[in-house]
Copies of this chain bind each other. A is one copy, B any other.
Amino acid sequence: MFSKATEYALRATIYIAQKSSIENKLSLDDVATGIGSPRAFTAKIMQILSKDNKLVSSTRGPNGGFYISDKAKEQPIIAILKCMNERDIIDKCVLGLKKCSEKEPCPLHFQYKTIKADLLGLFELKSIQQLANEIEDGNATISN
């Protein structure tokens, strides 16, 4: 479904939400180890996620690292997809037609659209915080 980069982005963000706070930041190594992703590649992804400190925040130097503000934790999962520029793969035609539309639908369109709606609903409804809680409560893992 998603690219490796976006998978790591999702896992990293949720992981940071669960483990970090502004007083207790996570280093790149913490994150990569925590979610089981390649360190250097994860660094690149963290750069995207923490660009302008919009979704994830970061500071350099001793005791620096990554964290997520309480406000950002309330963001829905889809915010991560948007950040990774993969928001619109949900809109694509399942058969790869240039445009998915009701006027020129592919033969799977009307059935697939309800599935897409469910997917979108999931990503729009679930917040980063909620998924972090699932892990915190021991009901889910993200560690590979």
The quantity of this chain's copies bound in the complex is 2
Q: Is the CB of B119 within 8 A of A115?
A: yes
Q: Is A111 an interface residue (CB 8 A)?
A: yes
Which of A38-46, A51-59, A66-74, A91-99 lines the interface with chain B?
A91-99
Most buried by B among A14, A96, A97, A112: A96
Question: Which residue from chain B places its CB closest to the CB of A118 in the assembled complex?
Answer: B115
Contacts of A108 in B (CB 8 A): 77, 122, 126, 131
Top 7 A-B pairs, shortest CB-CB distance? A7-B96, A107-B131, A107-B134, A107-B140, A115-B118, A104-B141, A10-B95
- What total of chain A residues lie within 8 Å of the partner, measured CB to CB? 40
User: CA A111 – CA B125 in complex, angstroms?
Assistant: 11
**What is A's interface to B at a CB cutoff of 8 Å?**
1-2, 4, 7-8, 10-11, 14, 77, 89, 92, 94-98, 104-109, 111-112, 114-115, 118-119, 122, 126, 130-132, 134-135, 139-142, 144
Known A-B contacts A115-B122, A122-B115, A131-B108; the reply to A144 vs B98 at CB < 8 A is: yes
Q: Is the CB of A111 within 8 A of B122?
A: yes
Contacts of A95 in B (CB 8 A): 7, 10-11, 14, 142
